[in-house]
Structure 1
Amino acid sequence: MSNNANRVFQVVNARIVTPSGVIENGALTVIDGIIADIRLSGEEQDASASKLPVIDAKGNWIIPGFIDVHVHGGAGHDFMDANEEGIRAITKFHAANGTTSLLATTLTASREDLTAVLDRVSRFMSATMPYTQIIGVHLEGPFVNVKWKGAQNPAYILPPQPEWLDEWVRRFPGVIKIQTLAPESEGSLAYIEKLANNGIVPSCGHTDATYEQIIEAADHGLRHAVHTFNAMSPLHHRQPGTVGAVLTDDRITAEVIADGHHVHPAGIKLITRAKGTHNVILVTDAMAAAGMPDGDYELGGLPVHMSCGVARLKETNSLAGSTLTMISAVQYLVREVGVTLEEASRMASANPARQLGIEATTGSLEVGKAADFLQLSDSLELEAVWIKGTKFDN
């Protein structure tokens, strides 16, 4: 990213997407990486603000930076085995595609390997992060259902292990933000309560749970569903399954992968109409192959082949994560699904911030929040990225 001189400036002549609507011909002032003011361009302001460096947005959109709560890697690297250089490459790639904050997401693996990921990521978080900010870890597995394993390695699937969580919370306080499990597995309800009591969002995924089991899990604290429709018991009019519970229980926020491969546009419309755009979170589920050419890769130790940008397990031909970026997902929602940019922005920024409990500091463009924002052209092409008021320089 560029130097800190860019942390004090004003963006003018912009269409600014805020929680209360779009400000046409707006001006956004940044002081020390924080949004200090939002108003109409040309409105009277104090003398000091009028002397700030000015960036002319030329009528383009200014929207909040994206927060990706489910991302495994990118640029040829995976959080499961990436060293500091690899993590830096992942965050640089996603910064270039509009993600200003993310959760480093794991896969089903051994206790030792998952602990090692938590250790590497927590150390990376403790230093200055030059690109996308890692704000925690999303543990996807290993307490899932082998029937819906998808790209999760079945060799390491097992029931919830409370003592693992005790160790992780003690050694890495505040690092785990979400954990995904199968609520029908033995001991899962008590484990869900344990997650919630530790400030971790309990999530369902890779699950064969019935409608009734998901509702019961929500009674115990379940609040999130990963990649809705994918790797979960499907909707049937007499057996609503996991999908039916996720769509109808307002306590559960639904992730969606909007890449045209994981969910049909009509399926995404169904999710947004059932949940409302305030209760849907846009994610990439991106793997190491994101941003890379077609070829052979690995996901959680399983061989994957990517063709035409679509990654599938070699053994089963199942979808294996994605190569999606957040800017591409937002563009897909607007162009193919028909949501407004304001609605897409809510699903990509405000909703994940609220789910993670960080909405007071980021996720929307409001005075006092971090200057995490993007400039998009009228056709929604990404023009510029600012992270904490510092412009990203690819």
Structure 2
Amino acid sequence: MQSEVKGYFLTPDGQVKKGIASISEGKIVRCEFDIDSNQAEREDEGVIVPGFIDVHVHGGGGSDVMDATPEALDKISATHGAKGTTAWLATTVTQSTMNTDRAIDAVVAYMKSDRNGKAGAQVVGIHLEGPFLNPKLRGAHREDFVCLPDKAQFIQWCERAEGTIKMITLAPELEGAEELIREAVRRGIVVSAGHSDATWADMEKATALGVSHVTHLFNAMRPLHHREPGIIAYTLQHSALTADIIVDGIHLHRGIVDLALANKGADKLLLITDAMRAACIGDGEYGIDGFQVTVRNGEARIHDGTLAGSLLTLDEAFRRMVQLHDVSMADASRMASTNPAKLLQLEAIRGSVAEGMKADLVCLRRDGAVSWTMVNGRFVYRSPE
């Protein structure tokens, strides 16, 4: 059965045009666009953009990936789907091998089931954040489970995951990282440097081995220094590396976001949430992976003041880039949709509004709020307003 979506679309050429997208079996089968000629009507109807893709999500709506249940994954999918995310990587935290196994098993089963994408955003893979992190820069990851890179353990997780691991964050300067990076690259898994004390020389070696991305740039990594520029300067200077940023106004100063934009450009940056359990819930006390997390005024912190993820959603990240950083809607869409699709090698089916692409669409009102979200041609969210 074929359906149609009419309105103002952000097209692949970066323009907003009035048009019609015909949808069949979850895909866009035909697009017809005209040049936008009615600004007032456009602002009233909103703009339809490609669905957001978040490569770093731990939780939301009171649930966490490490809960390892289909109900938790439904809740996270629905929570972020209501905020414009149509695809996401279920992201683990550093936990015991047994708990990581449980989380992987739960995600694999969920991705095989017909639940995936029904409640909201579709899980498109797993992101292992840890446990191969630098203990000095572990953030809110458990010190007792952080460890050196272990190729055998990584292979065991890859086999358990049946090809669903799409990304791993590790500290490339650690002993054993070289072998693990080679193995991940051989399997087509994105290797991202993060929670790292890597020097400039460490990053030169890491990128030669296949590290291609950097996790939450500036956060949980060696700070910039004029005699040892380290991972931050290396990332800003090398166009081959992409990086993601958390633009919640807490993790990064506005000037630092502008610095990243000036040096990397919109083509090399991704917007992520790093959202934790309390996203879209609010202030309170939360038990997360062995930590007591206090959420107050939009900030999630453990007992020593360390940030424990964020409460950010991608609609807010998109809105902040446009309204606070003078980024065009087209560039914000690149960072929220197109670039993540490219990173995960999904650009043939996701990340733009065009024929042959999945019908993953989001309608944004004039104020940047989500009017509706569509996943695989189905409306998974409609604003009550």
Q: TM-score range by the shorter chain?
A: over 0.9
Identify which of 73, 91, 105 aligns with 1:87.
73
Tell me what 2:371 maps to.
383
User: What residue is the counterpart of 1:121 in the other structure?
Assistant: 107
Question: Which is worse superposed, 276-285 or 160-169?
Answer: 160-169
8 Å contact from structure 2 (residues 271, 317) kept in 1: yes
Alignment of 1:128-167 (within 5 A): 128=114, 129=116, 130=118, 131-167=120-156
Correspondence for 1:34: 27
Question: In terms of mean alpha carbon deviation, does 23-32 or 70-79 score higher?
Answer: 23-32
Shift of residue 10 of structure 1? 2.0
Which contiguous aligned blocks of 4+ residues in structure 1 show a shift greater than 6 angstroms? none
| TM-superposed deviation, 1:191 | 1.0
Q: In the aligned structure 2, how far is the partner of 1:367 from the partner of 1:90?
A: 29
Distance 2:105 2:172 in 1: 27
Q: Which amino acid aligns with 2:90?
A: A
Query: Residue 200 of structure 2: which of 198, 201, 211 is its match?
Result: 211
How many residue pairs match? The answer is: 374
What is the SS of the residue equivalent to 2:67? coil
Structure 2 match to 1:303: 292
1:9 aligns with 2:11: no
**How far apart in 2 are the matches of 1:312 and 1:366?**
41
| Aligned equivalent of 1:354, options 332, 339, 342 | 342
Residue in structure 2 matched with residue 48 of structure 1 by the alignment: none
1:45: which partner in 2?
none
CA deviations over 1:179-222 (Å, ceiling 9, x no partner): 11111100111211111001111111111110110121000000
**Residue 48 of structure 2 is aligned to residue 62 of structure 1:** yes
Partner-residue secondary structure (3-state), 1:155: coil
CA distance in 2, matches of 1:385, 1:180: 29
8 Å CA contact 1:209–1:242 kept in 2: the answer is: yes
1:245 CA displacement: 1.1
> Counterpart in 1 of 2:39?
none
- 1:312-351 matches, within 5 Å, as 312-314=301-303, 316-351=304-339
Deviations 1:31-82 (A, max 9, x none): 222112222359xxxxxxxxxxxxx995421100000000100111111124
Report the Cα offset of residue 24 of structure 1.
2.1
- Displacement, 1:142? 0.4
Aligned to 2:91: 105
CA contact (8 A) 1:72 1:78 kept: yes
CA separation in 2, counterparts of 1:223 and 1:197? 13
CA contact (8 A) 1:180 1:226 kept: yes
CA 1:309 to 1:23, structure 2 compared with 1: closer, same or farther past 3 Å?
Answer: closer
Determine what percentage of the aligned residue pairs are the same residue: 39
Equivalence for 2:38: none
Cα-to-partner distance string for 1:150-172 (whole Å, 9 max, x where unaligned): 11111111111111122122222
Partner Cα distance (1:372, 1:253) in 2: 24
Structure 1 residue identity aligned to 2:168: Q
- State the alpha-carbon separation in 2 of the partners of residues 260 and 359 from structure 1: 29
1:19 CA displacement: 2.1
User: TM (normalized to structure 2)?
Assistant: 0.94
Distance 1:375 1:134 in 2: 21
The farther-off stretch of 27-36 and 362-371 is 27-36
Structure 2 unaligned segments of length 5 or more: list them: 36-41
> Which secondary structure does the structure 2 equivalent of 1:281 belong to?
strand
Unaligned runs of 5+ in 1: 43-55
